[in-house]
Structures are given as structure tokens and as C-alpha cells.
Chains A and B, each alone.
Chain A
Amino acid sequence: MHQVMSNKKTIFLLVVPGFLFFLFMVCVPIVMSVYYGMTDWKGIGDYNMVGLENYINILIHDKVFWRSLWNAILLVIATVVLQHPIAILFAILLTHMGKWEKLYRVLFFIPAVISIVVTSKLWSAIYHPNFGLLNKVLESIGLTSLKQEWLGNPDIAIWSLIVTIMWQGFGYALLLYYAGLQGIPEDLYEAAKLDGANYTQLYTKIIIPLLAPMMRVAIILAVITCLKQMETVFLMTNGGPGESTQFLGNYVYKAAFSSSLYGYGNAISVLFVIFCLILTVIMNKLLKKDVGEF
């Protein structure tokens, strides 16, 4: 048994093909980015090594970089403070729906399976100042004064984007918590009821604490997704008006392909990856402490 399961040649054959894909498409590019990030390459022609100049410029002078980070943090906060508590509440309610459970679960999740290109263009239309659904709804409920260009106003555009992103991601968050609830053994509910616990006690004392490990996974996944946000921005506002809705992914793309600053764009990529890693480690540590070991 041990001999068969330790056969080096077999292990090599099993692991290496997949690992090569991963190595060449995920790891090598990042090493390349670190290199190009230290150059002033414009995408064509010769280039010079400029050392850490790009990195220093970005961290010290680049307001758009910090604005992009701040926008990601706004999205993270909105997701963790608004989307997830609502998702937990509705995941719990969903388990009380009896035979309707499946139908509602499907309805909630459908936006999550639709192409981002479709949802971005759809929400651009919803926010359209002239025929958009949102302005029509506001008008019909007597809030005409609130009608506006949802994507044209630099103070509001970022929230319009956040709403779209949260709308699309809601079903996924809900499904994670619903899955977490399914993993809680049925007899726990019964035992709590035999002990005379009411619904509030059942949920605050038993179910929510048991859901904590799932919350950790879901929140970390959500934070990663928020940071990686790009397509919706790219398609709905392309970072504008001004740079008010810029996100890092989109900013990298813009620096490299619109402004031909390949070196600079790669340096942003590298900082982007470093930031994702740091934030994930911090989240992991923070949340682990909060919920205890399971």
C-alpha cells in the first residue's frame, strides 16, 4: 500500500501536467510583472531599468491608485455590512419555506449565473437618465426629485456600481450561507426545541455561532472578489466620471493599453497582488480570532 502510494513517478505524472498550467499562467506572469514593473517600457521598443521608481511613484504620488484601493474598500465594507447580513437572514428564512425553498433559491441565484457583460449593460440601461428603470420607478412612487444620471455624477456613480455588483453577488453569498445551514445537523434544532428554546434563542445561541466558520470563508471570498472587481467597472463607467469609479484591475488595464505605460501598469499589478495577499492574511487572522477554532 505504502509503496504504491509513494511511487514518485506516479505522483509526478499526476501533479505535473496541471501544475505546469498553473506555473506558466499564474506564477510566471507575476514574476514577469515584477520585472517589467521595474522598467519604463512603453509596450514597444527599448526600455530602461528604473528600479523601484514606478513603485515609489505609485505609492507616493498616484492619487488614482489610492482612489482605486479606496473604492475597493468601500465595496468590501458595503458587502460585509449590508450584503452578508441580509444574505444570512434570507438564507435562514429560506430554510423555512418548505416546498417553495427551491424556487426561491433559484430566483435569488439567477443573477449570479448571468454574464457580467449582460448585467453591466443591463444596469447601465437601468441607470439610463431617459428611459432607465430606476428613474421610472422613482417617478412612479413620487420621488421625482431623486431622478438623476446615476452613472454621470462622480459622487453617486461609485454607489451605482456597488449596487450592481451587490445585486449580482447576492445569490452567491446567500447560497454559501444556505449551504452552511444545510451542514448543521437536524437534531440540534430538535434538541434546542426540547430544551424550550424559542426561535430567537435558537438562532442567536446555536445556529449563528455554528455558521461562523462559513462566515469566515464567505467573507474572505467576498473580499477577494471585491478587490478583483473589474469587468463591471470596465463596461459601465470605465473608471469615470473622472477617476471616481476606478478599480485596480481596470486601472492596470488603462495604464497599459490606453496610456501605453506597460512598465507602470505592471508595477500596479504587482502592488495589486501584494495588496490582495496582505488583506487576505489579515482577514484570515482577524476572523479566526473572532470565531474561534472549529
Chain B
Amino acid sequence: MDTTMRRGSKIILFVVMSAIALIQIFPLIWLINFSFLKSGDFFGSSFLKWPEAFQWKNYADAFSNGRVPTYFMNSLFVTLTTVIVSAVLALMMSYAFTRMNWKLKGPTMNFIMLGMIIPIHATLLPNFIMFNKLNMLDHLGTLIIPYIAFSIPISMFIMTGFLETIPRVIEESAIIDGAGVFTILFRIILPMTKPAIATVSVLNFITWWNEFIMANTFLVSEDLKTLPFSIMKFTGQYSSNYGAQFAVMTCIAIPSILFYLLFTEQLTKGITAGAVKG
């Protein structure tokens, strides 16, 4: 369609698009720029500055005082466990809800979909009380369990939409050949639902990699904290060390961006697939 556009309007189009893109991206460029400055260099009127000497020390501080490596591993463990377990559970449930016949599946599905509306924050206090009573506070599992629970509604929303597009013929012949539901699900359906599984995984990864408020409430030990807490380390006692704070923020932002760049097509396709159903 772009071939029919005149040259003039094409230039306007690019200018307008670039303006918004700049608004979206510039704060991050500013962030990375300032992560290489000495705190004293922040002042003055120019909004981007070539550092006189790159302050790699900011990054060294970030890694040591911000405990980036430890927190990174904690985040990775919590997020990967959540992503894998919730993908498997959501796939199993979605299959039962779209393919199998049982009386209560309509109401149960609606009930679970209500979970998309429930704010995490409304469950924060009772979950805190519950974990406290069960002596479960301050374990990484205390994060993983609610993360999985809150991943299920949105994951099922996307997966059931995708499963409905898969024709039933293949399953029918598999059943005639004597295959059971689990064989069908994990040998036939699972490979076919890879795109939906990928989308759900990317979405969940982004959500839980960045989750902060539950981690802030349920974790106490320094050794168990997740990546967002690296920043918090620099906002209290090190509040004046903006250079290191910006370096930590860059360290946390970069993996998310790289992960997104890796799976950007998947995310777009998945949202498209979900949108068709929605």
C-alpha cells in the first residue's frame, strides 16, 4: 500500500512517526548516557553529554553494591520456573476447556477469566498473612506460587483462543488408533501449539521478570531478592550516587530489551492471534 503514497506525505509520515519514537526512546538514551557520567556532571543545561571519562566505576558499583549477579540469578530462577510451570498447567487446562466435554466447563472458565480483573494488590495482604501463618515467607517459592496463579487466566485466554483454531481431525484419527488424551496432548497438540506457548511464555516472562511489589512484601533476606531490588539499594543510603543508580537501571533494562528483541515477532503474532478471538 505504501507504493501508492506520494513522496511528500511519505516524508511527513516518517517525521511524525520518528517524533513519537523519539519520545519513547529518548529517556532510555538519556539513562544510558548518564550512567557513564560522574554525579557532578549531571548538572548544566545540555541534555546529552559526552563523558569526559567513561565512568565504568558506576557499573562496578552497580555489580558489587547493587548485588546485580545474585539478584539476576534469583530473578532468572523465579521467572523461568513460573514461565515453565504456568505454560504446562495452562496448556493442560486449556485443552480440557476447549476439547473435552464436561458439565461445569463454561462457568469454571468464566470464573478463571475473572482472575484477569482481580488486582494482585488486593491479594497481597491475605497472602502475606497466609504465608506468614504457614511459615513460608522469605522463600523464592513464596513468589513462584502466586506468580503461577496469576499467570493462569491470561495464559488460558491466549491458549484457548489458539486451540480453537486447530482442527479436530488429527485427534480423531489418533483416538481411533487408541491414543489417550495425555498422549494426544503432549505428542500432537503440544507441538502444534508452540506459537501460543511461546507468546504466553514471553508475556509471562516480561511480567514476572519485572514484578516488584510481591517480591517487596514477601521477601526479607538479602540473598533472595530479585533484580528490581538492585535499584532500591541505591535509593536509600546511596541516594546521592546517581551514576551507579543509572548504571543499575541500565543493567536491568538491557536484558528485558534483548529478550524482547529476540521474541518480538512471537509477541506480535501471539497478540494478533489473541486479538482475533477477543
Contacts and interface: CB of A to CB of B under 8 A. Distances in A.
Interface residues of B, number: 97
A4 B268 contact: no
B27 A5 contact: no
Nearest to B102: A11
Contacts of B45: 136, 139-140
Interface residues of A, number: 100
B170 interface: no
Contacts, number: 284
Given A14-B93, A17-B92, A133-B47, A111 B231 contact: no
B21 interface: yes
B157 to A, nearest CB: 10
A254 B89 CA distance: 34
B17 A115 contact: no
A14 B96 contact: yes
A164 to B, nearest CB: 10
A265 B260 CA distance: 37
Q: Tell me which of B34, B89, B206 has the highest count of chain A C-beta atoms within 10 A of its own C-beta.
A: B89
Contacts of B206: 113
A123 B133 CA distance: 38
Q: Tell me which of A4, A86, A108 has the highest count of chain B C-beta atoms within 10 A of its own C-beta.
A: A4
A179 B272 contact: yes
Q: Tell me which of A108, A114, A118, A273 has the highest count of chain B C-beta atoms within 10 A of its own C-beta.
A: A118
A7 B30 CA distance: 59
Contacts of B90: 18
B17 A90 contact: yes
A55 interface: no
Contact of B126 (A139, A189, A266): A266
Contacts of B24: 107-108, 110-111, 167, 170-171
Interface in A109-133: 109-111, 113-118, 121-123, 125-126, 130-131, 133
B46 interface: yes
A37 B153 CA distance: 26
A30 to B, nearest CB: 7
B165 to A, nearest CB: 13
B175 A4 contact: yes
A294 B249 CA distance: 44
Contacts of B121: 228, 230, 248-250, 252-253, 269, 272
A285 interface: no
Given A29-B127, A30-B123, A171-B24, A93 B253 contact: no
B175 to A, nearest CB: 5
A81 interface: no
Interface of A: 1-2, 4-8, 10-11, 13-15, 17-19, 21-22, 24-26, 28-30, 32-33, 36, 86, 90, 93-98, 100, 102, 104-111, 113-118, 121-123, 125-126, 130-131, 133, 136-137, 139-140, 167, 170-171, 175-176, 178-180, 182-183, 189, 213-214, 217, 224, 227-228, 230-231, 234-235, 248-250, 252-253, 256-257, 262, 265-266, 269-270, 272-273, 276-277, 280
